[in-house]
Amino acid sequence: MDQKIRQGHFPRLAIVGGGYGGVELAACVARRLPKAKVTLLSRGRPMSGTRAEPLVDQALKKLGVAVEICSVDEIKKNTNGQTTIQRTSNSNDSSLTIDAEDEWDAVLWTAGSLPAYPVTKGENMDGLALSSSGRLIVDKTLRCSSSTENSKVMPSVWALGDCCEITPVVLPVPPKTAQAAMQQADVVASNVLSKILNQESETEVFKFQDLGTVLSLGGPNGAILGPTEDTQLTSLLIPLLDTARIGFGIADSLFATIIDSSDIDKKAVESLGLSIGGYGLGVDPESTPGTLSGTLSGASRRAIYALRMPTNKQRAVAGASAFISSAAALAKEASDQIQSSNSNNGEKR
């Protein structure tokens, strides 16, 4: 894509799926390839029904990501190497039309999820029950069920993460995320050990605890979302996030005032999207309760991932890697901005 841009061709990229993966990918691609036309194809508003919905709407708009509310019916590759996407509009706005003949340089798929091999091959899971979605059926202790009807013998197999489905359903239903899988890992480890030690009376039951969510919004920016479940943790974290969000909003106002009143290249600073809170993302702090966004939130997201590593060495490596990669990316973006500015000034002369 970089080569196409250098040759004067601005690529058109379609990203299918308006969930966490699609939003993060769209934001990162738009940030990495600012001259590309990035369109997010989603059945509904991106991150619909979550705390992130208003924040994501504003952030994607600021990044120049177009959002198309539609269902993808078919994807075809043309003889010229381009791709067309047959889709149906899901929007009530009659002014929004879909051109199924338009061509795309690349289509990136993030919609839906399936368990990985070998779970996808039922014959490889001999004796283990599978759900209609092809996932391993587990009980609330995350132990797999037998595929033999009325079997009283439970297989000595446990599963966690995307490859399994708890039946009967336990509320709250755990999302297919790393946060849920890490909580499940503790339960599985404890229950396997109890089985080995013949202490099955001490078997643990899994119950998902929503600790909030973090997501990338391109480059150094990110967002922190408070828990959605009505728990004691929610009543503690949401007021803290809202207080910080308002405080960061005030700091961003001062930041914007300083840029306006100084000799700093305002356009270059805004293009990097740096801010204490959501200013650099075009996010209105008054319209996004229960969330934090911006450069500090992006740094916090990386710190959280580093801290979740199992050893101090891995934490140090993850933290250093995140810092170096972010600094290098920002340096490249700043360099590109300077070169672009110099080139434009040269053309004007």
Q: pLDDT digit string (tens) for 108-146? A: 999 877 777 666 665 667 788 888 888 899 999 999 998
Of residues 237 and 6, more confidence is placed in 237
Query: Which domains are assigned to the chain?
Result: 1-113 (3.50.50.60), 122-202 (3.50.50.60), 209-349 (no CATH)
Structure confidence at residue 342 (pLDDT): 63
CA distances from 35 to 66, 107, 252, 267, 293 (A): 13, 17, 27, 16, 24
Closest CA to 289 of 254, 240, 252, 250: 240
Q: What are phi and psi of 245, to 5 degrees?
A: -60, -45
Range in 50-54, 112-116, 142-146, 342-346 with the lowest mean pLDDT: 342-346
Burial 181-209 (b: 16+ CB within 10 A, else e): bebbeebbeebeebeeeeeeeebeebebe
Q: pLDDT digit string (tens) for 100-116? A: 668 899 999 998 777 77
Structural element, H or E, at residue 221: none
Residue 249 has pLDDT above 80, yes or no: no
